[in-house]
Structures are given as C-alpha cells and as structure tokens.
Structure 1
Amino acid sequence: MIRKTLLLILLVCSIGAFAQSTSENLDKILKEHFSASEPGAAVLVVQNDKVLLRKGYGIAEINRKQPIEPDMVFRIGSITKQFTSTAILKLVSEGKLSLQDELSKHLPDFKTEHPVTIEQLLNHTSGIKSYTSVPERMTTEAKKTKVSVAEMLGYIQGYPIDFKPGEKWLYNNSAYFLLGAVIEKVTGKTYNDYINQNFFQPLKMTASYPDDSKPIARQAGGYNKGAENVYTMADYVHPSIPYSAGSIFSSVDDLWKWNQSVFGYKLVKKELLEKAWEPTQTTSGDVESYGYGWQLGKVGGSKAIGHGGGIDGFLSFEVYVPELKIYVCLLANNTSVNPEDIAYTLAEEVAGVRSKKPEAITLTAAQRDAYVGVYKINDQEERVITRKGDQYFSQRSGGTKFEIYPYAVDKFAFKETNTRIEFKRDNSGTVTEMEMLDRSFVTRKATKTNKPIPAEREEFVMNPTDFDVYVGEYELAPTFIIKVWREENNYKAQATGQPPFEIYPESASKFFLKVVDAQIEFNRDDKGVVTSMILHQAGRAMPGKKVK
C-alpha cells in the first residue's frame, strides 16, 4: 500500500513538473516575441481545461507605461466572424433560415448579378466584392465615420462582382457584413443586441462588447510601428465599419468561455457545427482550408480550428485542437507581430510536436536551378521561385518576397516562418509541381509553367534632386491619396491610412517597392509637367491625378 502511494505521489509530481516545464517553455517563446517596453499581447494557453499560461506581455498604453494584464480587453477583429457564423447556424437550427436560402429572400432590396446563398456568404465564395478592398472605403476619415447598415449595403451593392458565386474562394468582409444584416432582418433585433442577448449574457462573457458605445474598462490601446521603429497609436475605426465582420471587443478569458461553449455544443448542435469546420470546395474544384467563419489548420497531424483578426492597432489569433484539447488565444495591441505563427508555435509546444528549423544544405551545380520558375496557383495568382547566388526566394503575386533555403533535395524551408516547400518531379526527373507545407489543413499546390521569370528590378541611379518634380499628393480615389516626398537620398510614398514605404527608381519615372510586389509610374503632360501617377499591384493599374 505504501509502495502504491509512493508511486502515485511520484506520478503526480512528474505530471506537475511536466506542466511547469511546459509553462516555462511557453513563457520563453513569448518573451522572444514581445518586449516589456513595447506594445505586446495578452495570452492564454489551456490543455484539458488546465491553464498552462495566462499572462500579459508588453505595454497596454505607452504614455502611462501601463503593462498588459491578461484580463484586459482588445479589439479582436475578424474573430468576430465566429460569432456571426454561429448566430446564422443557430437560426438555421431553429428553422428560421436555411444555408441554401438565397440572399434575396431575406434582403430583397439588395440586388446581385447572380443568386447568392447564405452558405456562399459564410464560406467566402459569394463573389461579392469586399468593401475593405476598395481604397475609398478604407481611408482614415472613412473608417472613423459612423455608417448605417443600409448605407454600407448601398456601397457594397454598387461594386462589380469579383467572380460568379461558388466559382472561387476569396476572403470577403462584405459577405459577413451582409450576414449581420440577415440576422437583423430574421430576428428583428440589431446585430449588437442579438449577440449580447444570445451569447455574451448567457455565457457570462462580461468583458465582451459588440461595440464601444459605452465606456470599456481595462481596454488596451492599439499601436502601429512606424518609421525608425517608433510606435504610434492607431487611428480609430468606428465599430459600424467592420460591424458583423469584425467589430467585437473581448478578452482571452471570455474567448475561452466562448470556445468551451461552441465545442461543447451548447449553442448549436454538433452535426451543424461540424459542417462549419470542413474545407470549402469551389465549383472549379479548388479546396480551401476554411469553413463557415473558422479557418482550418494542423498541429502535428491533428486538426486545428481557429481564426485570426486584424483591425487598426490590433492583431489576434485563437486556435483549438479538439483531439488534444489544446486552446491558445493571443490578443495583441501591436501590428508588427505575427499572432497566428506565435499561437501555432505555442500549440505545437504543448502538443510536443514543435520542430526545430532544419539545417541548410548546399545544392550541386546541376541541382541549383531545377526549382527556379513561375508556378501557377490559380487563374489569378502565381508563385515565383528565384535564385540569386546561393540564396533562393519565393514570392506570390502582389506579395512580399521571402527567403527560402534547401534542407534536402527537393525540399525548402522559409527562413522566417515554419512553412516549407516540397517540389515534385515527373518520371523523367523534371520538377513539375510544388506543394506548400504549412499549418494549413489543405495542402496547397502550384504547377510549374514555361513562363519566363519576371526580370529582376534593378535600381536606377538618379540625381536625388531630380525626384523633386514628383513630390506631392496624388488622388487615386476621392478619399484615397498617395503622398510622395524625399528624405535626402531616400524616396518615400505613403497611402492614406497606411505606413510610409521607401520606393526605389528603376528608371527616371518608374519606381518600385521592395516590401511588396508593387510599382509606381509618374506621367507628364505635353509640356513636361508631372500630372499623375499609376500604381501597379496584383495585376491592377490604378491611376491617380496629382492634386498638390
């Protein structure tokens, strides 16, 4: 009996020591990402209903040097979509609407070129243009100005569609704004009242708010990192702008309560919710790691379900691994961090599947260029693999160029993230395809084409004072301005509501950005006077008249 008791004590002690070790490792990971003197995050990590870590990192308000504490309230951005999706599914379970209902059944005044279903709004296949992709709707002035639901629906209805419903997948805030309007029409309540009465109040989510119409206690300020790594408070975004696509304020504790209720099937029955956690397939055959308001990933070999959010000054991510009962929530007031990568890293640490970055290898001369080329992702997007000496780079259309490195033949890793690429060959040994191996639930593939590699942009040497003729402001839309200026030998551009970026000359009138795949071209009239610019990005050419 004494021996059994001793064994039990040893077992309990070893479990406790393991939990303590895990908590210490989690804390170490987070301290690598957040400084005590800068904006940071509140973080919660839970396994089997046991809290492994609940802690604040960094500063909640710079002026007061107030540290972040774990019970503080943050804007959670698009994690709001979970609440909107669950509200819709709750109404479906109550027989008040169907996933196959056409939008026109509930919003007859909202006209669409093709019929759009509720399900297509939920899974981002509606083709309706996302209002957040329209520059004039996302200016600093526009974002801080209150709009009614009817006004925003009017704006959305006026935009051309991106594609035929069901044909493609494209993340879409307009879709979730429309779902909020459907909830209001079906229930006769405002979106805010419905969320409060059906979720926040019964679940005792006392630190959660659908908007900031009333003072919010213990709210963290949101910050952006600007030039010379200086943090400035983000511009205010009125909650009526994100609305049911991203208006909610909450805390890590409340989101844990929410997660328990959702995955405990207290709000919507299991068979309906499980549809929300399955990948979306388009009519063209593409499969996307996204369900109804939840994105799907992997922690080791286990399915992970979560969502992220981003709104001026704030970034967020939460993920749950049902098989392992691991939950991670990270709410940041610092837009220079990557909460999704950090949250997944924490989950992988708890699961014991966190892998170290592989060591780089040196490829032979015969192997070096086998992977270089243009790979087709879909009809609109490509990924380009390039080589410069012994360095390799991967860049998606309109995106940032990332350095990658080989760690085995046909296998590459991203230098800054855990994403990896595996190249596939045909029977002749020729590279024909690539697979992106990341935390996505669905393996993403791209086919190698015969298209030539886009020419590497080289900097043109110009006299700095020659740039002064371009200095000024250019109007691309009524409320969307790009300001251009010079700081000694550096040339800068800043779009309304965005941070400044350096631009580099490739000719006397053409400039390019290095942070993203975008270019600016300046135009002159017959007299040689600079009158306009054209912004080229992601296949679009957006002209802007010089107004100042």
Structure 2
Amino acid sequence: MKTKLLLVLIILAQTFYAQEITGSWKGELDLGRMTLPLVLDVKKENNIYVSTAKSPKQGDEIIPVDKTEFINNELVFEMKALRASYKGQFKTDHFEGTFIQNSRSFPLNFYKNDGKEKPNPKDEKIKGISKNGINTAKIDDFLNYITQNRQGIGSITIFQNGKEIYQKSFGQDQLQNVKWDSNTGYQIGSISKLVTAVMLMQLEEKGKLKLDDKLSKYYPDVPNANKITLENLMNHTSGLGDYAGPWLFGKTVGDKAILDTIKKHGVEFQPGEKERYSNSGYYLLSRILEKIAKKPYHVLLKENITSKANMKNTFSVLDNQKNIFKSYENTTGKWTEVEDFDFRNCIGLGDITSTTYDMNLFINALFDYKFVKKETLDKMLPKSGKPFGLGVMTVPFYNQISYGHGGDTAGTHSLVSYSPTEKYSISTIINGEKLAHREVFLGIINLVYDQEYKYPKFTELKKVSEKELQKYEGTYYSKDLKVDFKIFIKDENLFAQLADQPSFPLEYAEEDKFKNDNIGVEIAFAPEKKQLTLIQNGNTLVFDKK
C-alpha cells in the first residue's frame, strides 16, 4: 500500500577481488522524459561493503534494498518494493550496467564522485510554480492523451491557496455499465494512515497518549512490545513485518487471524535501527486509537476529521458505502476488474474511500491547523532527509518538497500532497491502470512545474487468436519454488496464476513472449521444450509443463 520512485539503499555483499570500491559513486539514470541522478556512498563494515544511495532530485531520501551482492566484480541488487533491480560490471574505474523496473530497462553507470556538481539547466528551472500560475491546459491535454489511448482511468483535483483551480475525471466513460457521479468514492489505500496518524496526534494533544508509550501497554504479546513505542509504529521504525498480502483478498479474516500473523512474522530489526514500511504497525495503531477513544474507527473518522473539514464523500469501510469505484486494468485491450482487498481487513490503514476534492480539503485543513496545532504538525513532518514522519511522507520533486502520503490497493493508486512554500495541493487517484500510475503522476507533476515533458509513446496491442494461445495453456511446475504456475485462456486472452495468488492477464510482447507491465513480469514460452521462463526484477525462473 505504498508508492515511491527510484531511490536506493544498497548493502554490498562480499567481493571476490581485492578491488577497492569504498567512496562515493554517482550515476545518471535516463528515464526518457527526465534524468535521475543517483549517488552511492560505499564504506566497509566487518569485511563487507555497506552503502547508501540517494537522489539529489528526490530529497536525498534513502530506501532499503532486499538483496545485494558484489561477486566477481559484478554488482547486483534488488528492490522488491519498487519492482526493480540492478546489475553492473566493474570496468577499470566505473560500474557499467542496467537498471530494470517493471520490465523496463535503463542503462545506469556509476562513476567515482569527485563532489563537484555539474550544472544542469533543467535544475535551474525548478524554482517553483510559474508566477502565471499552474498551466492547467497542459495537464488537461496530457490527461486527454492518456484517455484517448486507453491508458488510464482516474481523477485529479488541484487547490491553490485553499481553493480548487482544476478538476478532471478521465477515462470513466470507457467502462461499460458502470454508473458514477462526482460523489463516487475511490479507495485511497494508505492515505488512510495519514488520517489515522492525525487522530492519534489529536489524542496526544489531549494527554490521552504519549509518543513514547510502549506497545506492551496495549498489545503485550506482540514481539518486542516492551521496546517498541507508538512513535516507532508511526514512523515505520518499529521493526515489525508486514501482514498485508493476497490472503486478505475476498474475505474478512478477523482481528485474531491478523494479530496471529503479526506475531508470527516477529521483528526484522530493533526499534529505531532502520526505517521499513509496515502495514502491521498501522493496524496496531488503528486498534489502539479505538481502544483509547472507546469508539469504532468510522465514528472517530466522522467526529474528528470529515465533519471538521466538510468532507462529504469520505468514509470508512464500516460505513458500508455503495457508491464506490472498483479497480480496473487494461492489459488485453479492454478494461477488466481487478480483484482487491476485503477492506475490513485494513481498517485505519487502507480502508477509507474518498474523492480527490475531499482529499484536498483534508490536506489543506491539516496545514491550516484545523485538526492539530502547528507545533503538533511540526512534530509530524519528516526530519530532513527522512522519507517518513509521524504519518506524513516527504513527496519530493527535484529540489521542491511537498508533504502528504501515497496509497496503493491491488488496483487503485493515489497520491495527495501539499507544498507549504507554494500553498498548492494536488490529489490524484488512478483506478484504471495500463500505463503505470507512476508515469501518470510523473507527467502531471512535471506539468505543474511547467517542465519540459515528452508524452509516452504507445504501441498498438497485437491481438493473438485463441487458437494460437492454446499451445501455451497448461500447468507448469518449478523445481526451485516447488509450486505450480497455471496458464489459461479467459475471455480470449492469456492469463497466469502462480500457486494460490490472484491471476493476472498477459499482453503479447513478441513471438512466444508475453508480459504484464503493471507487476513487472515477462514470460517467455518454449513450446517445443514444454517450458516457460518467468522474468521479474532481474530474476529468472524456469517452469516445466506437467
């Protein structure tokens, strides 16, 4: 339930050679419509290389990597949260390699960083919003382009100085037999966490809780509960794992099952040692909020948030609202509904539905101190260089810093942010995704700041006949994972399903190759060998047909 772009924390494993790579390295990632510099600082601890990477254009934030190796002069790392990986070979004085994200490859070389920043004309332009204001006509043109190419469905609202200056719903008319209006809500995913954090800080102002209260006061049986504070839970430094996953789709599992899972996952690090996004932490915080206030979440939401900001279309799943958009994807040439969470499993951390208008009301009310005092909001904001505060996330663009939160369900993606310097806020929700939602967000924010932006190019989807698809159908088995991988035809399109996970559609890429860009998967079939090869995040797995 979160959304971020290309920022890296790298832990380099052992090296085969005596090559000295400690120091600072710098690379320039060419994304086509913008470049993203990455700075890698390497040091040695206990005979292993430990590094951090940051992007000067994205607030110098640091994000952990799941796996990193430096063997035979080859650097490899993975970032599962970003669906990304890197592989680079050391060449005399630099690393030469490829960065892969969502099946898209970008050349990325790291060179020794001499500390001298080369002037970038593009950086000079990022001085804030033009004195003429935001050019909403350009945003309108971009979203019309997305709609005409059937690349996205969603809504956007922009406020400046507390007033709406732009609103657009796009793509909804492509959905057949779906009724909607301006009051139809969208799932906002983890933006719910920001709402929960605000309500917790309201209790802190009233003296009903302290940020240094231990988790053991409320949940003594959770691992490390006597060390974890409420503040650790709020800023994702608790060390707890993440209970969210496909097992929460389609049915309400209940509090006991969720708590048992949180306990079973244990801790990944000691409180305060690292930052790692945790849905488990905010599940516990939401239940603590209810315990202290002695009221259910949806009642607290109405009393403490929506009524104070005149948010007429914002509700918890407990309100049983019916006028809500589903999630959709388009990988087969038409929009199909995406299986999503049963949001009763995510109360307080991912269950809220809202509109882009209401989300702007919320973020403006927060920064106008209608929910909490200024000194309280100041405590909630991330510290310099940190991605997470107390429920508030940094939303960087080049040297411009906004604050807010992102949200992801299985098929709906949202972002709300506020710029204290520019006094503008933007709320965007994508509930129909073909072009990756990050690309849509990136296009919008470039146009908000009047940056040069090249529209993405789209190739026409090739339709493969059902007869041709039949040769790929079947159940395949991985000896490494010891799981089945089903390939089947549905609605004249090819679908895949790994074990008991949700199925997903496949789009033709080239002969015997199919892909799903939204989850970063490529599948290469070898019918004559009765095999398929699954490629994701730079990893390759071979499955044999049963």
Q: Decide: shared fold, TM above 0.5.
A: yes
Q: Secondary structure at the match of 1:243?
A: coil
Quickly say closer, same or farther: Cα 1:470–1:169, change in 2 above 3 A. Answer: same
Q: Secondary structure at the match of 2:309?
A: coil
Q: How many residues align?
A: 386
Which of the numbers 245, 259, 275 marks the counterpart of 2:363?
259
Residues 271-350 of structure 1 mapped to structure 2, 5 A cutoff = 271-279=375-383, 288-343=386-441, 345-350=443-448
Q: Secondary structure at the match of 2:148?
A: coil
Quickly say closer, same or farther: Cα 1:318–1:338, change in 2 above 3 A. Answer: farther
CA–CA distance in structure 1, aligned partners of residues 325 and 310 of structure 2 = 21
Alignment partner of 1:185 is 2:291: yes
Which of the numbers 246, 260, 278 marks the counterpart of 1:138?
246
In structure 2, the partner of 1:205 is: 311
CA–CA distance in structure 1, aligned partners of residues 312 and 532 of structure 2 = 51
Q: Secondary structure at the match of 2:497?
A: strand
Give ranges in structure 2 of 5+ residues lacking alignment. 1-130, 458-468, 506-514, 516-521
Quickly say closer, same or farther: Cα 1:246–1:147, change in 2 above 3 A. Answer: same
Quickly say closer, same or farther: Cα 1:111–1:356, change in 2 above 3 A. Answer: closer
Q: Secondary structure at the match of 1:55?
A: strand
Structure 2 residue identity aligned to 1:59: Q
Structure 2 residue identity aligned to 1:200: T
Quickly say closer, same or farther: Cα 1:327–1:165, change in 2 above 3 A. Answer: same
Quickly say closer, same or farther: Cα 1:337–1:77, change in 2 above 3 A. Answer: farther
- Quote how far apart the aligned CAs of 1:327 are: 1.0
- Quote how far apart the aligned CAs of 1:204 are: 2.2
Contact 2:316 2:353 (8 Å CA) reproduced: yes
Structure 2 residue identity aligned to 1:62: L
Contact 2:218 2:288 (8 Å CA) reproduced: yes
In structure 2, the partner of 1:83 is: 195
Which of the numbers 222, 237, 244 marks the counterpart of 1:125?
237
Q: Secondary structure at the match of 1:290?
A: coil
Quickly say closer, same or farther: Cα 1:64–1:355, change in 2 above 3 A. Answer: same
Residues 216-270 of structure 1 show CA distances to partners (whole Å, capped at 9, x for unaligned) of 33x32321223x2332112242222222211000011111111121001111111
CA–CA distance in structure 2, aligned partners of residues 310 and 84 of structure 1 = 16
Quickly say closer, same or farther: Cα 1:236–1:485, change in 2 above 3 A. Answer: closer
- Quote how far apart the aligned CAs of 1:91 are: 1.3
- Quote how far apart the aligned CAs of 1:295 are: 1.9
In structure 1, the partner of 2:281 is: 175
In structure 1, the partner of 2:103 is: none
CA–CA distance in structure 2, aligned partners of residues 103 and 113 of structure 1 = 5
Q: Secondary structure at the match of 1:494?
A: strand
Q: Secondary structure at the match of 1:175?
A: helix
In structure 2, the partner of 1:494 is: 497
In structure 2, the partner of 1:239 is: 343
CA–CA distance in structure 2, aligned partners of residues 350 and 240 of structure 1 = 36
Residues 301-450 of structure 1 mapped to structure 2, 5 A cutoff = 301-343=399-441, 345-352=443-450, 354-356=451-453
Alignment partner of 1:34 is 2:39: no
- Quote how far apart the aligned CAs of 1:101 are: 1.3
CA–CA distance in structure 2, aligned partners of residues 187 and 50 of structure 1 = 33
| Percent of residue pairs identical | 24
- Quote how far apart the aligned CAs of 1:186 are: 1.3
CA–CA distance in structure 1, aligned partners of residues 471 and 449 of structure 2 = 58
CA–CA distance in structure 2, aligned partners of residues 22 and 153 of structure 1 = 48
Q: Which has the higher contact order (CA 8 A, sep 6+)?
A: 2
Structure 2 residue identity aligned to 1:102: K
Contact 2:151 2:434 (8 Å CA) reproduced: no
Which has the higher mean CA deviation after the structures are superposed, 328-337 or 264-273? 328-337
CA–CA distance in structure 1, aligned partners of residues 200 and 382 of structure 2 = 16
CA–CA distance in structure 1, aligned partners of residues 399 and 181 of structure 2 = 33
Quickly say closer, same or farther: Cα 1:275–1:341, change in 2 above 3 A. Answer: farther
CA–CA distance in structure 2, aligned partners of residues 256 and 276 of structure 1 = 18
Q: Secondary structure at the match of 1:101?
A: coil
- Quote how far apart the aligned CAs of 1:351 are: 3.8
CA–CA distance in structure 2, aligned partners of residues 329 and 469 of structure 1 = 43
- Quote how far apart the aligned CAs of 1:57 are: 0.6
Residues 487-528 of structure 1 show CA distances to partners (whole Å, capped at 9, x for unaligned) of 9xx9974232142454337997986434533332458xxxxx
Contact 1:22 1:52 (8 Å CA) reproduced: no
Residues 460-475 of structure 1 mapped to structure 2, 5 A cutoff = 471=476
CA–CA distance in structure 2, aligned partners of residues 465 and 346 of structure 1 = 41
Which has the higher mean CA deviation after the structures are superposed, 92-101 or 195-204? 195-204
CA–CA distance in structure 2, aligned partners of residues 48 and 104 of structure 1 = 43
Structure 2 residue identity aligned to 1:222: S
Quickly say closer, same or farther: Cα 1:484–1:234, change in 2 above 3 A. Answer: closer
CA–CA distance in structure 2, aligned partners of residues 186 and 485 of structure 1 = 50
Which of the numbers 49, 62, 73 marks the counterpart of 2:175?
62
Structure 2 residue identity aligned to 1:205: M
Q: Secondary structure at the match of 1:305?
A: strand
Quickly say closer, same or farther: Cα 1:109–1:48, change in 2 above 3 A. Answer: same
Give ranges in structure 1 of 5+ residues lacking alignment. 1-16, 281-286, 358-414, 418-463, 524-528, 531-548
TM-score by length of 2: 0.62
Residues 96-142 of structure 1 show CA distances to partners (whole Å, capped at 9, x for unaligned) of 1111111111223434377211111111121111012xxxx514xx4
Instruction: Tell which structure's C-alpha radius of gyration is larger.
Output: 1
In structure 1, the partner of 2:321 is: 215
CA RMSD after TM alignment: 3.8
Alignment partner of 1:48 is 2:171: no
Quickly say closer, same or farther: Cα 1:483–1:32, change in 2 above 3 A. Answer: same
CA–CA distance in structure 2, aligned partners of residues 120 and 190 of structure 1 = 23
- Quote how far apart the aligned CAs of 1:465 are: 12
Contact 1:36 1:58 (8 Å CA) reproduced: no
Contact 1:511 1:519 (8 Å CA) reproduced: no
Quickly say closer, same or farther: Cα 1:482–1:200, change in 2 above 3 A. Answer: farther
Contact 2:340 2:409 (8 Å CA) reproduced: no
CA–CA distance in structure 1, aligned partners of residues 271 and 140 of structure 2 = 45
Residues 285-330 of structure 1 show CA distances to partners (whole Å, capped at 9, x for unaligned) of xx54222222213345332112211113311111211100111111
Structure 1 residue identity aligned to 2:343: P
Structure 2 residue identity aligned to 1:293: G
CA–CA distance in structure 2, aligned partners of residues 317 and 60 of structure 1 = 22
Which has the higher mean CA deviation after the structures are superposed, 203-212 or 57-66? 57-66
- Quote how far apart the aligned CAs of 1:75 are: 0.7
Structure 1 residue identity aligned to 2:258: M
Contact 1:305 1:320 (8 Å CA) reproduced: yes
Contact 1:41 1:57 (8 Å CA) reproduced: yes
Alignment partner of 1:519 is 2:522: no
